[in-house]
Each structure stands twice: as C-alpha cells, then as structure tokens.
Structure 1
Amino acid sequence: MKFIVQWNGQPSAEQSVIERFMKTGGKAPEGVTLLGRWHAAGGLHGVAIVEADDTRGLSAMALEWGDLLSLSVSPAMTDEELGAALAAHQAARK
C-alpha cells in the first residue's frame, strides 16, 4: 500500500535535521520502499511517497525522525485506484 508522508520542522531543529540526513541519507527503514521525496526550498518541510505492506516500517520512520520533525502519514491512492473505488460506489448506489 502507498502512503503520503508529510513533515514539518521548526527552524531551531534545522542543524540537527541536516546532520541526521547527511549521516543516514534519509534511507527508508526496512519494510518501507521510498518511491519519491520532495523537499521545500528554504524550509524544513516536504513530502514523500512510500510503499509498505504494514505499519511497522512506518512506525520506525516516525520514531527515527519524530524528535526533530512533525510527521503526518496518510494512505494514498492512484487515480486508477480512486476511479475503481468511485465506480464501485456509484454502482452500489443504483
């Protein structure tokens, strides 16, 4: 399943975030596949799309960065997956 991971950090955490990212490369934990990651220019916020079969790896990621960043993790759907869900919903309403 795909997830949207959003993060925000306070300017006071900037140096610590930089040091950790440079040390770890921001590598995704075991069980999580990083599909893409985008960072805001000039700020400690961004978004990543990841894939995981369960929440264990997502929890590990939140624990790894939670002392420096506020993280939000939400299930994600592609246009095709959403379209199929909407079609099933419409069919059930008829």
Structure 2
Amino acid sequence: MKFIVLWNGLPTAESSVIERFMKTGGRVPEGVKLLGRWHAIGGLHGVAIVESDDTGAMAALALEWGDLLTMNISPALTDEELGGALGKYAAAGNK
C-alpha cells in the first residue's frame, strides 16, 4: 500500500533535523520503500510517498523522526485506483 507522508518541524529543531538527515541520509526503516521525497525550500516541511504492507515499519518511520518533526501519514491511491473505487461506488447506485 502507498502512503503520503507529510512532515513539519519547528524552527528550533532545524539544526537537529539537518544533523540527523546528513548522518542517516534520511533512510527509511526496513519494510518501507521510499518512492519519492520532496523538501520545501526555506522551510522545515515536505512530503514523501512510501510503500509498505507493514504497519509496524510505518510506525517505526514516524517514531524515528517524532522527536523532531510532526508527521501526518495517510493511505494514498493512484488516479487509476481512485477511478476504480469511484466506479464501484457509482455502480452501487450512489451519486
């Protein structure tokens, strides 16, 4: 399953976030595949798309950075997956 990971950090955490990222390369835990990650310019926030079938690995991802960043992790669908879900919804008589 794919997930959207949004993160935000406080300006007071910037030095610690930079240090940890430079030390670890921002690696993700075993059981999580990083599909892409984008960082905001001039701010301590960004987004990543990851894939995992392991909720424990997803929790590890959040916990690894939880002391420095707030994270919002949500399941994600592609356009095709959403289209299929919408088609089933409409076929069931919903509008």
Q: Name the TM-score class by shorter chain.
A: over 0.9
Partner residue, 1:22? 22
Gaps of 5+ in 2: none
Secondary structure, counterpart of 1:29 in structure 2:
coil
1:74-93 matches, cutoff 5 A? 74-93=74-93
TM-score, scaled relative to structure 1: 0.98
- Residue 90 of structure 1 aligns with an amino acid whose one-letter code is A
1:23-62 matches, cutoff 5 A? 23-62=23-62
Root-mean-square deviation (Å): 0.8
List structure 1 segments (4+ residues) > 4 angstroms apart after TM superposition: none
- Residue 89 of structure 2 aligns with an amino acid whose one-letter code is H
Residue 19 of structure 1: CA displacement?
Answer: 0.2
Aligned counterparts of 2:58 and 2:43: Cα–Cα separation in 1: 23
Residue 91 of structure 1: CA displacement?
Answer: 0.3
Aligned counterparts of 2:54 and 2:76: Cα–Cα separation in 1: 14
Secondary structure, counterpart of 1:4 in structure 2:
strand
**1:21-59, Cα deviation, whole Å (9 max, x unpaired):** 000000010000000000000110000000001211110
- Of all paired residues, the percent bearing the same amino acid is 72
Aligned counterparts of 1:3 and 1:55: Cα–Cα separation in 2: 11
Partner residue, 1:2? 2
Aligned counterparts of 2:27 and 2:75: Cα–Cα separation in 1: 20
